[in-house]
């Protein structure tokens, strides 16, 4: 079963000796979205993707209506290709430099006593941890 592994960079190797190994194919978030918008599905079966830069995209979106428009646009692109992602890719790592938090919302904190919500894109996944204490959030490609 395929899914998005939403993970803080500090939970990856080499930052954490028993952390998750980063997937070998690293790409920026905007590149990932651009690839998904291609008519023909762009990824070969078995590609293991490590996607970085979502935080920067959301910070550039600002707040209010524009932030929601960008977030829902991202969600729409991701869900539109969910079946193909499921059929071809196992797990896509979405890596965050900042801490991920979940309570009444699911967010990252860019500093300055602010929150940037990830809920419009990923919903509200539950924090999990593996046998080595590595924390992560997981959600299916269909984002439900």
Are 2 and 10 spatial neighbours (Cβ–Cβ below 8 Å)?
A: no
Successive 10-residue mean pLDDT values, the chain, 144 residues: 91 95 96 94 89 96 91 96 90 96 92 90 95 95 86
The pLDDT assigned to 1 comes to: 61
The pLDDT assigned to 45 comes to: 86
Contacts of range 44-49, beta carbons closer than 8 Å, 24 or more positions apart: 44/88, 45/87, 45/88, 45/89, 46/88, 46/89, 46/90, 47/88, 47/89, 48/23, 48/24, 48/89, 48/90, 48/91, 49/23, 49/25, 49/89, 49/92, 49/93
Are 89 and 43 spatial neighbours (Cβ–Cβ below 8 Å)?
A: yes
Tokens found for residue 40: 């023909």
The pLDDT assigned to 46 comes to: 82
Tokens found for residue 130: 């593996």
pTM of the entire predicted model: 0.93
Measured in degrees and rounded to the nearest 5, phi and psi for residue 20 equal -70, 135
């Amino acid at each position: 079963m395929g899914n998005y592994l939403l993970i803080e960079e500090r939970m990856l190797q080499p930052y954490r000796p028993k952390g998750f190994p980063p997937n070998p194919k690293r790409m920026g978030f905007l590149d990932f979205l651009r690839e998904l918008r291609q008519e023909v599905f762009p990824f070969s079966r078995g590609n293991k993707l490590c996607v970085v830069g979502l935080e920067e995209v959301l910070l550039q979106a600002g707040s209010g209506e524009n932030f929601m428009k960008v977030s829902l646009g991202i969600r729409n692109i991701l869900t539109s290709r969910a079946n193909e992602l499921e059929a071809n890719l196992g797990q896509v790592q979405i890596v965050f430099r900042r801490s991920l938090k979940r309570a009444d919302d699911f967010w990252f904190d860019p500093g300055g006593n602010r929150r940037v919500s990830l809920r419009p894109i990923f919903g509200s996944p539950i924090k999990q941890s593996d046998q080595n204490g590595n924390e992560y959030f997981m959600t299916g490609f269909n984002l439900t």
